[in-house]
């Protein structure tokens, strides 16, 4: 841990600021969208189930002492609208005493909520916050039901409104990431994810979700079925380099970005419980982790995938740390092109990155991803008996985010 981080900690103590600790962290498995295991599940129902489990894991916690429920969501409309955070609070906590607020920083939303919770607790504005994210992309067109760009802005800066696939093509071209390299990266993501599932490395922190469905059989008779979702649905054991190579580009003619080297659209929810040191002592529990630093940065929207190139050094500087101080990195694989661009630009150690696979194999449930990756990071660091890790991602419209965590 760097001297800057130590000095910041001492400075906080002198100012009487509370440290913020994560004492519980859970996620659902990630389902494929739009025809996966959660295709008929509402986002508020899915998130409420995780919140119920989260709070129940701390028996001495009085739910009315929770100061807020902060929920990340990248498409807060339709079933995910109506300030979904407040609905999740009402449904998941079974009390009307706890407020809720929805946060949207696109793919970083779930990580952003943990940063907000940490900042509020450190400043003395709260003692206990539920933070995380949810996204059910199965019931939502990508980007939402009705996109209404500013016509005048679009004429001058059309790339501000580009779809994510076009930005991935721009990154591949500008950073010279070949189709072959993208496919190889994607193949390895699936291999690592399949191995992790087989070895049980993704089970910790994952809560089983019971799904009940009503359907019509082949005779058009109404029937019901029930099953448990306890495994990430995305990884494919039959993924092979030659199969990936045969896929056609989906975003640009003559391009290199395919469905196979892009993240999967997905459904999922993940939440953590963040408390002050005072609340930690009152509950008599041991902390899991703490957020050491958090950095967000802006980059050209045309190449939004390079966001972590700016955000990672910023988070490291705030923490007084260097890259080599990090034991593990969860780099959200929005696209293979941008992941490789980030890794190469910063010369990141690939042996530390996405050791259990990434979003290309495991899925990317947008507003949930930041908190979901955090849950995975905590458990993998603990399993390996390591100390520091980072969660980082690119963000739509040209942003990057990175959060550094310390295991307690």
Q: Which of 128, 190, 201, 394 is catalytic?
A: 394
Cβ atoms 118, 76 nearer than 8 A:
no
Beta bridge partners of 404: 293, 390
Q: Are 400 and 302 in contact (CB under 8 A)?
A: no
- Based on the residue annotation, tell me whether 364 is a catalytic residue of this protein: yes
Whether 107 is catalytic: yes
Helix (H) or strand (E) holding 103: strand 100-103
d(CA 115, CA 272): 11
Answer whether 101's CB lies under 8 Å from 71's CB.
yes
**Residue of 53, 107, 201, 368 with catalytic role:** 107
List, in sequence order, every residue forming a beta bridge with 402; answer none if it has no partner: 295, 392
201 in active site: no
Distance, CA of 364 to chain centre: 7
Report which of 215, 192, 229, 234 is spatially closest to residue 355, judged by C-alpha positions: 192
Catalytic residue, from 128, 190, 201, 364: name it: 364
The Cα 333–Cα 67 span in angstroms is: 33
Cα–Cα distance for residue pair 114/155, rounded to 1 Å:
37
Nearest C-alpha neighbor of 359 from the set 266, 222, 224, 227 = 266
Active site residues: 107, 364, 394
């Amino acid at each position: 841990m760097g001297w800057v981080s130590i000095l910041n900690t001492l400075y906080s103590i002198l100012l009487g600021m509370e440290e913020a600790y994560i004492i519980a962290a859970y996620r659902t498995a990630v389902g494929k969208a739009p025809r996966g295991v959660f295709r008929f599940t509402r986002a508020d129902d899915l998130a409420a189930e995780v919140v119920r489990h989260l709070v129940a894991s701390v028996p001495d916690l009085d739910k009315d002492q929770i100061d807020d429920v902060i929920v990340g969501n990248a498409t807060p409309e339709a079933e995910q609208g109506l300030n979904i955070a407040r609905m999740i609070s009402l449904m998941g906590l079974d009390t009307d005493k706890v407020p809720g607020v929805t946060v949207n920083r696109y793919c970083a939303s779930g990580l952003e909520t943990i940063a907000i919770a940490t900042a509020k607790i450190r400043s003395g504005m709260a003692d206990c916050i539920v933070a995380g994210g949810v996204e059910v992309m199965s019931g939502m067109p990508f980007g939402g039901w009705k996109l209404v760009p500013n016509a005048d802005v679009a004429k001058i800066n059309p790339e501000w409104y580009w779809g994510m696939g076009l930005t991935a093509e721009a990154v591949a071209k500008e950073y010279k990431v070949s189709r072959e390299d993208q496919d190889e990266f994607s193949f390895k993501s699936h291999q690592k994810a399949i191995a992790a599932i087989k070895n049980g490395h993704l089970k910790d922190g994952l809560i089983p979700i019971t799904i009940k469905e009503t359907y019509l059989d082949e005779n058009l008779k109404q029937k019901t079925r029930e099953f448990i979702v306890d495994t990430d649905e995305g990884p494919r054991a039959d993924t092979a380099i030659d199969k990936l190579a045969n896929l056609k580009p989906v975003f640009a003619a003559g391009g290199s970005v395919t469905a196979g080297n892009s993240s999967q659209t997905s459904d999922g929810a993940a939440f953590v419980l963040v408390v002050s040191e005072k609340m930690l002592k009152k509950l008599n529990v041991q902390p899991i982790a703490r957020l050491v630093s958090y950095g967000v940065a802006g980059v050209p929207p045309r190449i939004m995938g390079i966001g972590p190139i700016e955000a990672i050094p910023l988070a490291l500087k705030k923490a007084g740390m260097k890259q080599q101080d990090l034991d593990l990195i969860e780099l959200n694989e929005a696209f293979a092109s941008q992941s490789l661009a980030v890794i190469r630009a910063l010369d990141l150690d690939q042996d530390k990155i996405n050791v259990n696979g990434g979003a290309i194999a495991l899925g990317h449930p947008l507003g949930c991803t930041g908190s979901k990756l955090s849950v995975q990071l905590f458990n993998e660091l603990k399993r390996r008996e390591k100390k520091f890790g980072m969660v980082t991602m690119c963000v739509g419209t040209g942003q990057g985010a990175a959060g550094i965590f310390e295991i307690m």
